[in-house]
Amino acid sequence: MKPLILVIDDEEAIRLFLAATLEDEDYEVITAGTGAEGLELARERVPDLVLLDLMLPDMSGIQVLGGLKSAMPHICVIMITAYRETDTAVQAMKLDAFDYVNKPINLDRLLKVVAKALESNSEARRRFRNQQHGDLFGGIDDVVPSLAPSMQEIYDVVRKISGGESTTVLIEGESGAGKDVVANLIHRTSVRRNSPLLEINCAALPEQLLESELFGHEKGSFTGAAVQKMGLLELAHSGTVFLDEIGEMALPVQVKLLRVLEKMTFRRVGGVEDISVDVRIVAATNRNLENQIREGSFREDLYYRLNVVKIVVPPLRDRVEDILPLVDYFLGQFNLKFNKRFTGLDDEAQQALLDYDWPGNIRELKNMLERSVLLSSGEILQKEHFQGLDRSGQAVDLGRQVQDVLRKPFPEEGVDLEDLVDQIEESLVRKALAAAGGNQSEAARLIGLNRDKFRYRVKQYGIKES
């Protein structure tokens, strides 16, 4: 992960010059032209280092330094000063600035000071990040905190709703991206954490069984209902109910769920008495519910009841900085599970994991690590221990091939249509399997096939079933 540097200077030419120079050194750079803008950016992004001009149009650099240090004591600040302001720069050093550089800026000195500041401050930055996560992850040791900006925004939302008791949350994201982890975090950081968190996958059960599992049933209400049964909503009273794959819920069940959200009451299947409950509903989906509303398969009123707070979990390919920390976490798990002693991955394997596009997201990464640890020996995992990492590049090449056929003049030698279609089909089958974590029923659903047709293609293309 690249160190993030914030440049605060009112001269645009200096901001552009410093940004270009630092980016060439593989730093990420953000800039601000005023002290107020700089303080706001610092709060939003929490930079690793700040280059701060002493003379700003709205406030002094000393004031900005004080604001930065007050909010983020760990932060490393290097002052930028003209020669005539050296006395003020020395004063800034007394107020805990790391160092200062004079204008006109000597690049060699600047880069040396930046590198030294980042190196000397790395442990303080690590402690601050752990502190940042402390209120959210305190006592939760089975979640790997993410440093990706998109996930930081999600943590901020979770913090804000953790104090409330009943805010309904809708979590969207691709299959395997970690929607269940976010739902778990919402419950475990809330005032409901000492009460049950009960989960149900709406795609895994037929309509009647899903209704019975959620709302319970009375004895004799349908064939096989030999005794009265309490549903998840009753069992989770004062806790949280997590409805995974809410987009798969049948319309009649949606109607009953809507009543729960509106009045916190429901009736068991076959029952005549209203039952009151106090639960938080967290729902998740990998589908586009707005499209389903237009198609008539999802109720618009239910969507708006669920969508009080929406959290969109980004796919793993959009938060590459999380890959290696997750690898370390899963490696520890599977070492213990399989009595292995892997200490890490070699550089080639690490780079291969970072370059892969992870269509199956964290679930695919976890499955791949589990298989690799189980089937390998030694202390260091290598690229050849990971199956399927090269298919990402093959899919890109195939996509380009199709685009060439469709957009460019038709090739004189013609096109082998059946071969191209087979390649596309095989690529989609493999990608669906990866996205579904090897679950063939889920993979078949993702590409609109029934399970028998999907299994036929798995066999046809010689895809090994894991």
Domains assigned to the chain: 4-133 (3.40.50.2300), 149-312 (3.40.50.300), 317-385 (1.10.8.60), 391-460 (1.10.10)
pLDDT for 396 equals 45
CB 216 within 8 A of CB 229: yes
| Residue 409, both tokens | 């003049």
**What was the pLDDT predicted at 20?**
93
pLDDT bin (cut points 50, 70, 90) of residue 329 is confident
What's the pLDDT score for residue 400?
A: 53
Q: With pLDDT > 70 as the criterion, what percentage of the chain qualifies?
A: 88
For residue 270, pLDDT beyond 70 = yes
Tokens of 377: 């020996």
The answer to whether 216 and 230 have CB atoms below 8 angstroms apart is: yes
In tens, the pLDDT along 394-411 reads 444 555 566 566 656 677
Q: How many CA atoms lie within 13 A of 297 on its CB side?
A: 11
Tokens for 85? 């302001």
More confident residue, 325 or 466: 325
Q: For residues 170-180, b (16+ Cβ closer than 10 Å) or e, as one string?
A: bbbbbbbbbbb
**Overall average pLDDT of the 113-122 stretch:** 85
pTM: 0.60
Query: Measured between alpha carbons, how far is residue 406 from residues 169, 402, 411 in Å?
Result: 42, 6, 10
Q: Residue 84's pLDDT is what?
A: 61
> What pLDDT is attached to residue 136?
59
**200-257: per-residue pLDDT in tens?**
999 888 898 999 999 998 888 887 788 888 999 999 999 999 999 999 999 999 999 9
pLDDT digits (tens, 9 = 90+) for 305-319: 999 999 999 999 899
Q: What is the pLDDT of residue 86?
A: 61
Query: Residue 301: pLDDT band by 50, 70, 90 thresholds?
Result: very high
- Classified as helix, coil or strand, 1 is coil
Mean confidence (pLDDT) of the chain: 84
pLDDT at 138 over 60: no
Which of these ranges, 17-26, 133-142, 161-170, has the smallest mean pLDDT? 133-142
pLDDT of residue 49: 92
Which range among 153-167, 352-366, 418-432 has the greatest average pLDDT?
A: 352-366
Q: What is the pLDDT of residue 395?
A: 47
Q: Report pLDDT for 392.
A: 47
How many whole angstroms separate alpha carbon 23 and alpha carbon 2? 10
Question: Model confidence over 64-96: pLDDT tens digits?
Answer: 988 888 777 778 899 888 756 666 666 777 677
Q: How confident is the model at residue 450 (pLDDT cuts 50, 70, 90)?
A: confident
Question: Cα–Cα distance between 311 and 331 in angstroms, integer?
Answer: 28
